[in-house]
Structure 1
Amino acid sequence: MQLTPDETILFTLGGIGINETIVNTWLVMIVLTVASIIITRHLRPDVPPNRWRTTLEVIVTAIQSQIEEISPRASRHVLYFSGTLFLFIALSNLLLVVPGFEPPTASLSTTAALALSVLIAVPLFGITRQGIRGYLKTYIEPSVVMLPFNIISEFSRGLSLAIRLYGNVMSGAVIAGILLGVAPFFFPVVMDVLGLLTGLIQAYIFAVLATVYISSATATHGKPPEKEKDQ
């Protein structure tokens, strides 16, 4: 049993091996893009919403309300970023029910890339809110002595995000493989159900933690919280 889709090379392109992780990542992105285009192609006030549009609105509204509870300064850009992370991870894990599909989140390279996007987004949101000087000042609070510890803390966040997501997805795959060998008819069904539930929970946790880190970076000390206007 292969422990990661990185080990499966599907084809070569220009002498470079394209593994299953890359292909499945693009498949997830294509599914999300096509689905959003189809659902929103008639997004007008005079057109009554269908069930797919209603479902999408419920999902977006739930994500937005959760973000607003976490960050009183949440803007549309936080919704776009954290919502995209949630949808990508959730769909990647939900497609596990498709025979032969290995979720890209089962690869450490994918989870590391997602964590890296959070590491980049956090200072960008912080600089946008407080300016470069104001954001950099947070690294020496409450004193200059804390500078190296704050830097280490910043990078450990990204590392913990990547390892947490990868470990949970991979542990489910390994347990399913073991049970498949013990009882190939009953346990796989149970593990698929538990895998779907775990996948949704992990997507939620990852998006929430990303929002918490962004909220911390955009916090203006000494000023009352103020919600941004929609942009």
Structure 2
Amino acid sequence: MRLTPDAWIFWQHGFFKLNATIVFTWALMAVLLLGAALITRQLATGHVRSRWQNLLEIVVTAIVGQIKDVGLKHPRRYLSFLGTLFLFVTTAALGTVIPGYEPPTASLSTTVALALCVLVAVPLFGISGQGLAGYLKSYLQPTPIMLPFNLISEVSRTLALAVRLFGNMMSGSMIIAILLSITPFVFPIVMTVLGLLTGMVQAYIFTILAAVYIAAATRSSKASKKPSPAPTH
């Protein structure tokens, strides 16, 4: 029994390995790219829309609403990044109903890569929102002595994102594999459905945490200061 899709090797030549994590990751990205091209090729602006366009607008509206609720002022600016994260993790979880498929998010290498994307995106959005000086100044708040702790926080929360997603996704796959070997077929089906629900929840949590980190990086320190009361005579 494989612990992660990294152990499923399709091809190997010396140091180079083509494992299930790489194969399913690229297959998943191809499916998302093809699906996006098919859904958006004939978008309509009138009252008559296709079912796929209605579904797309519902998903986009929901993601934009969640980003706005986090506190980001211009949610559509972050839609492409956060929406892609959510759709990737969600599709990876939904694909578990396909026989022979293993979600790439059950590999620590995939979750680390996703967390590193967040690690890079947070300062980029922060610098674009506050400027380089304003963003770097946030590491010195509330006092310069907090600089090393703020830097450690950046690394630790990235590690926490990766380990949290990896642990939840891998545990679901492992439980289903164990139940398939020791119990009748009906019970693992129920656990598969619960696993799909867990995958959706993890995709939501991962995306919301990324949005929260971006919101914290883009929030200007001046906006948090209360205006001083007007002088009284």
1:164-202, Cα deviation, whole Å (9 max, x unpaired): 000001111121122222213122101110010000000
Query: Following TM superposition, by how much is the alpha carbon of 1:48 offset from its aligned partner in structure 2, in angstroms?
Result: 2.8
Q: Note if contact 1:6-1:19 (Cα within 8 Å) is conserved in structure 2.
A: yes
AA aligned to 2:122 is: V
5 Å matches for 1:1-231? 1-12=1-12, 16-46=16-46, 48-223=48-223
| Equivalent-residue separation in structure 1 for 2:62 and 2:181 (angstroms) | 39
Structure 2 CA distance for partners of 1:13 and 1:60, relative to 1, 3 Å: farther
Query: In 2, distance between residues paired with 1:221 and 1:15?
Result: 48
Instruction: Provide the aligned C-alpha RMSD in A.
Output: 1.7
Radius of gyration: which is bigger? Answer: 2
CA displacement, residues 91-150 of structure 1 (integer Å, 9 cap, x when unaligned): 001000000000000000000000000000000000001111110101010111101100
Shift, 1:74, TM fit: 3.1
Q: CA deviation at 1:72?
A: 3.5
Moved more, 72-81 or 95-104: 72-81
SS where residue 17 of structure 1 aligns? strand
Taking the aligned partners of 2:23 and 2:13, their CA distance within structure 1 comes to 12
In 2, Cα distance between equivalents of 1:183 and 1:150: 48
Measured in 1, the distance between the counterparts of 2:128 and 2:14 equals: 40
Alpha-carbon distance, 1:222 to partner: 2.5
Identical columns (%): 55
Q: For residues 10 and 53 of structure 1, do their structure 2 counterparts lie closer, same or farther at Cα, with a shift above 3 Å needed? A: same
Q: Which runs of 5+ in 2 are unaligned?
A: 225-233
Tell me the TM-score normalized by structure 2: 0.92
| Residues 72-81 or 121-130, more deviating | 72-81
Superimposed CA distance per residue, residues 52-73 of structure 1 (whole angstroms, 9 cap, x where no aligned partner): 1111110010000110111242
Q: Decide whether the 8 Å contact of 2:165 with 2:206 is kept in 1.
A: yes
Greater RCO, CA 8 A, separation 6+: 1
Tell me the CA shift for residue 28 of structure 1. Answer: 0.8
For the 8 Å contact 1:25–1:104, the answer to whether it is kept is yes
TM-score, L = length of structure 1: 0.93
SS of match in other structure, 1:223: coil
Secondary structure at 1:105 match in 2: helix
C-alpha separation between the residues in 2 aligned to 1:10 and 1:155? 33
**Contact 1:140 1:147 (8 Å CA) reproduced:** yes
Q: Distance in 2 between matches of 1:56 and 1:49?
A: 11
How many residues in Structure 1 have an aligned counterpart in Structure 2? 225
2: CA distance between counterparts of 1:204 and 1:26?
Answer: 22
Where does structure 1 differ by over 6 angstroms across 4 or more consecutive aligned residues? none
Q: Tell me which amino acid in the other structure corresponds to 1:65.
A: G
Determine helix, strand or coil for the equivalent of 1:138. helix
